[in-house]
Amino acid sequence: MNLLELKGVHTHIGAYHILHGVDLVVPQGQVTMLLGRNGAGKSTTLRTVMGLWHASQGRVVLAGQDITAAATPHIAALGVAYVPENMGIFADLTVRENMLLAARAARRAEQMDAGRLQWIFKMFPAVEKFWNHPAGKLSGGQKQMLVVARAIVEPRQLLIVDEPSKGLAPAIIDNMIDAFAELKAQGVTILLVEQNLNFARRLGDSVAVMDNGRVVHAGAMEAFSADAALQQSLLGLAL
């Protein structure tokens, strides 16, 4: 079953026609990688799913429900978490306060689901270690961990992340891969935009490649990852 489906989605930003009929499926319980050159329309696609842009044509369907015209808070309330590119954390607030801001149901840290917090701490030890420290003190990799931790502070059915590995050192990328694999093991469906082909290959079950505002290839990651000529022609680079 597909948790998320985009059917012929067109998105305009002002006078610009950015998405030209995006067809994309995100199967339930899997990790789907959205790849493509800079400017292909990946971030615009994610923003259209989240209702930050609205499709001028086509449909966005979440678990069988049409969310094409839905407002962002409604989409979030349906259990979709979104981590935008270069997502700012609140540098002057502590890690705990950053997490608390994302936990809509909790007013105080003591009200956050304790079991869930322990699970998050296990995936992202830096979140626990720096719990009472200003988030601005974290390294780049730790900040990236914090934004993902913040996105899952409440149970989610779909996690959407725009370029989680950007600017991260290889060791941190390994931790990030482990964390996403753990989320998947817990039943979270994941849609990731990635530039790092190696990261994409290690985590992805399926892949969709965008070019010029369309999905130009979709299929199993295994087949894509074995086909250097296809990677070269779609991305201009190969593993």
Ligand X SMILES: Nc1ncnc2c1ncn2[C@@H]1O[C@H](COP(=O)(O)OP(=O)(O)O)[C@@H](O)[C@H]1O
Name the helix (H) or strand (E) containing 79. none
Query: Would you state the structure tokens that stand for residue 47, as one six-digit string?
Result: 């923003």
CB of residue 222 to ligand X, shortest distance in Å: 24
Contacts (CB under 6 A) with ligand X, residues 73-132: none
Cα–Cα distance measured from residue 119 to residue 102, given in angstroms and rounded to the nearest whole number:
16
CB of residue 2 to ligand X, shortest distance in Å: 22
Contacts (CB under 5 A) with Mg ion, residues 1-60: 42-43
CB of residue 225 to ligand X, shortest distance in Å: 20
Q: Which is nearer to ligand X, 18 or 221 (CB)?
A: 18
Angle between helices 114-123 and 170-185 (to 10 degrees): 140
Can you spell out the DSSP letters for 57-74?
A: EEEEEETTEE-TT--HHH
Q: Which is nearer to Mg ion, 40 or 60 (CB)?
A: 40
φ/ψ (deg, to 5) at 94: -75, 165
Pair 210, 40: CB distance under 8 Å: yes
| Residue 44 engages ligand X in binding (rule: CB under 6 A) | yes
Among the listed ranges 22-30, 42-50, 60-68, 132-140, the one in contact with ligand X (CB under 6 A) is 42-50
Total residues in contact with ligand X, by rule CB under 6 A: 11
Coil, strand or helix: which one is 108? coil
Contacting ligand X (CB under 6 A), which of 33, 40, 55, 112? 40
Q: Which is nearer to ligand X, 48 or 189 (CB)?
A: 48
| Residue 35 engages ligand X in binding (rule: CB under 6 A) | no
| Residue 164 engages ligand X in binding (rule: CB under 6 A) | no
CB of residue 39 to Mg ion, shortest distance in Å: 8
Contacting ligand X (CB under 6 A), which of 25, 33, 41, 224? 41
Name the helix (H) or strand (E) containing 6. strand 2-13
Residues 6+ apart with CB under 8 A from 160: 46, 49, 50, 80, 81, 82, 83, 190, 191, 192
State how far the alpha carbon of 102 is from the alpha carbons of 53, 98, 171, 178, 195, in Å: 22, 7, 27, 22, 27
Q: Which is nearer to ligand X, 40 or 145 (CB)?
A: 40
Q: Which is nearer to Mg ion, 42 or 214 (CB)?
A: 42
Pair 155, 77: CB distance under 8 Å: no
Residue 16's binding partner out of Mg ion, ligand X, none, with CB under 5 to 8 Å set by partner kind: ligand X
Contacting ligand X (CB under 6 A), which of 42, 96, 156, 201? 42
Report the interface residues with ligand X, using CB under 6 A: 13, 16, 18, 36, 38-44
